[in-house]
Structure 1
């Protein structure tokens, strides 16, 4: 049974690099028979950065995104590292939603300079734990990302990157399937 995977492109910065690794991982995920991919690029979604009070009606832009996240059975966040953390628009997008993340797996593709976005990932793990999501262990990380892709948007070390992507996607499918089955047998309640 196909698992619904939402890929979230976390950078909205002008001139951002994020679409390069996002297109690459979406292509790799899309080649699999066990995944159906939905890409949510935060730069295209125009989500507000001011949160409304708890219980208030969400902004119309949020209301368009919420069903897509609720429908997803697994998530893959593509994030840069800005100043040892993840981008503010990504945090806002996460914070607009609560139940959509619960009892679902989250994986990461990170990129950046020397740290390769791994500090951003470690902080995101804490955020998603608070939302009752399960983060998978393995990450695909591109250190010095601007030199790790060729002019066609393919990793210079294609074999290594593809092997890392396979491990990450395999983990998302395993956890996504296990948690989908568990939610069907017994709804997750906080």
Structure 2
């Protein structure tokens, strides 16, 4: 199973993703790390202009994923919901962060086909193991 870790939170997001990657690999999961800041995506989605190349470049990575883990969801731009709706709506998702992302998680849940109720909190290994197991079952 291939997971896409969607990171939008700079150093904190990378810290959480690195910790979670070390937990995901023993579960037999393949992980793609997709850093939204490094992808160079525009802030706004507009139907009045052509889709930017950075948006097209990210689409195959998302399409290859069986499930998503949104890391640091407070940094997830709303425009992503529009650009990648077909990917979000057909795959399960989970959320991971440092513990201060509950409002962002609630805002993003409707964009995904299915979401795992439990949010992975950095440093809580049991939570990460449970959520990753649930994602594997949802596939």
Query: Is the shorter-chain TM-score for this pair beyond 0.5, marking a shared fold?
Result: yes
For structure 1, the 5+ residue unaligned runs are 81-85, 143-154, 156-160, 177-190
- Cα distance in 1 for partners of 2:14, 2:8 equals 10
Q: How far does residue 57 in structure 1 lie from its aligned partner after superposition?
A: 4.2
1:91 is matched with 78
SS in 2 for 1:65: helix
Structure 2 residue 24 is the aligned partner of structure 1 residue 32:
no
What residue number does 1:21 align with?
Answer: 16
Runs of 4+ in structure 1 displaced over 4 angstroms? none
Contact 1:104-1:134 at 8 Å conserved across structures: yes
Once superposed, what is the RMSD of the aligned Cα atoms? 1.9
* Higher RCO (CA < 8 A, seq sep 6+): 2
In terms of fraction of residues, the more helix-rich structure is 2
Given the two structures, how large is their TM-score scaled by the length of structure 2? 0.88
Q: Is the 8 A contact 1:110 1:118 kept in 2?
A: no
Larger Rg: 1
Using structure 1 for the length normalisation, give the TM-score. Answer: 0.66
**Which of residues 116, 140, 147 in structure 1 aligns to 2:120?**
140
In structure 1, distance between residues paired with 2:2 and 2:56: 19
1:74 aligns with 2:54: no
Query: What SS does the aligned partner of 1:18 have?
Result: helix
Number of residue pairs matched by the alignment: 139
Gaps of 5+ in 2: none
Specify whether residues 26 and 91 from structure 1 end up closer, same or farther in structure 2 by C-alpha distance, changes over 3 A only: farther
